[in-house]
Structure 1
Amino acid sequence: MSISYKKLWKLLIDRDMKKKDLRETAGISTASMAKLGKNENVNTEILVKVCNALNCNISDIMEIVDDDN
């Protein structure tokens, strides 16, 4: 099982936002954005900042997927 942030990237497209816009609005580092882009684990605090910036729930930005895909 692994984490996928595809929902986050789709949400950004739907809202016509760039990753840079999200980073600035949420107040997160470029390193955290890089981890999100690589589907790596990030601190829960980062996920909360992203959700607050986008006014959404955590299930709207991430999901757990099977590694078998």
Structure 2
Amino acid sequence: MISFEPLQILLIKRKISKMDFVEQVGISPSTAAKMWKNEYVALKVIDDICNKLGCSLTDVIEHIPDKKNI
């Protein structure tokens, strides 16, 4: 599973609200909602986030292995 928890932590540390994040990055509220639910978003969106926030991929997402495959 891909988790966007690192992004949520980054936004809290930088004191950026979810709505400010949506505006700064230029994504739709529905795309942001998918991210908060750990649903699929295009890699282009993740690339845009990294570029706009000046952060790395690991600041945005993390991989959580499926328990059944461990």
Give structure 2 stretches of 5+ with no counterpart: none
Counterpart of 1:47, as a letter, is: I
Deviation readout 1:2-60 (Å, 9 max, x if unpaired): 01111000000000001111100000011110110100110011111111121001111
Partner of 2:25: 26
Aligned pair count reads: 67
Partner of 1:40: 39
Partner of 1:57: 56
Structure label with greater radius of gyration: 2
Counterpart of 1:48, as a letter, is: D
TM-score (norm 1): 0.90
In structure 2, how many angstroms separate the alpha carbons of the residues matched to 1:44 and 1:15? 23
Question: CA contact under 8 A between 1:4 and 1:65: conserved in structure 2?
Answer: yes
Counterpart of 2:59, as a letter, is: D
RMSD: 0.9
TM-score (norm 2): 0.89
- Of all paired residues, the percent bearing the same amino acid is 39
In structure 1, how many angstroms separate the alpha carbons of the residues matched to 2:36 and 2:57? 16
SS in 1 for 2:2: strand
